[in-house]
């Protein structure tokens, strides 16, 4: 098998290799309507999608910087939404969306 020079292992390849050992920060839609859900690692990497009920979006957790932030917004043009901090390899599920951080999440709905 040919050896790949180390100089070529950059960008997307390193992200892929790091993702093999790293955990994910995920947000899941447990609501009845589609909302915009971003998931953000502590190093600033972010993934977002408008999710149907039961769907999820994840971003790779930053090595050495565990945890992150998950959120829900009524749409891409909205400034206010709901967010939750999550711990290492964390995820949360939105149950009910309400403006201005009054959402019900699995983590705060006892």
* Angstrom distance (rounded) from CA 70 to CA 75: 15
Q: How many domains does the chain have?
A: 1
Q: Considering the domain boundaries, does residue 7 fall inside one? A: no
What is the domain extent for residue 40?
23-108
* Angstrom distance (rounded) from CA 86 to CA 74: 21
**Cβ atoms within 10 Å, residue 67:** 16
pLDDT < 70 positions in the chain: 1-22, 110
pTM (2 d.p.): 0.76
Q: Considering the domain boundaries, does residue 13 fall inside one? A: no
Q: Considering the domain boundaries, does residue 10 fall inside one? A: no
The per-residue pLDDT for 2 is: 40
CB 46, CB 19: distance < 8 Å = no
Q: Considering the domain boundaries, does residue 27 fall inside one? A: yes
* Angstrom distance (rounded) from CA 102 to CA 48: 20
9: three-class secondary structure by DSSP: coil
Q: Considering the domain boundaries, does residue 12 fall inside one? A: no
Q: Considering the domain boundaries, does residue 71 fall inside one? A: yes
């Amino acid at each position: 098998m040919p050896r790949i020079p180390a100089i070529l292992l950059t960008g997307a390849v390193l992200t892929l290799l790091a993702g093999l050992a790293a955990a994910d920060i995920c947000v899941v839609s447990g609501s009845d309507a589609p909302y915009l859900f971003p998931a953000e690692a502590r190093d600033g990497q972010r993934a977002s999608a408008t999710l149907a009920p039961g769907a999820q979006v994840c971003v790779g957790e930053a090595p050495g910087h565990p945890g992150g932030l998950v959120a829900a917004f009524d749409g891409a043009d909205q400034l206010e939404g709901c967010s939750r901090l999550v711990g290492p390899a964390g995820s949360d599920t939105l149950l009910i969306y309400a403006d201005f951080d009054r959402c019900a999440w699995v983590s705060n709905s006892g």
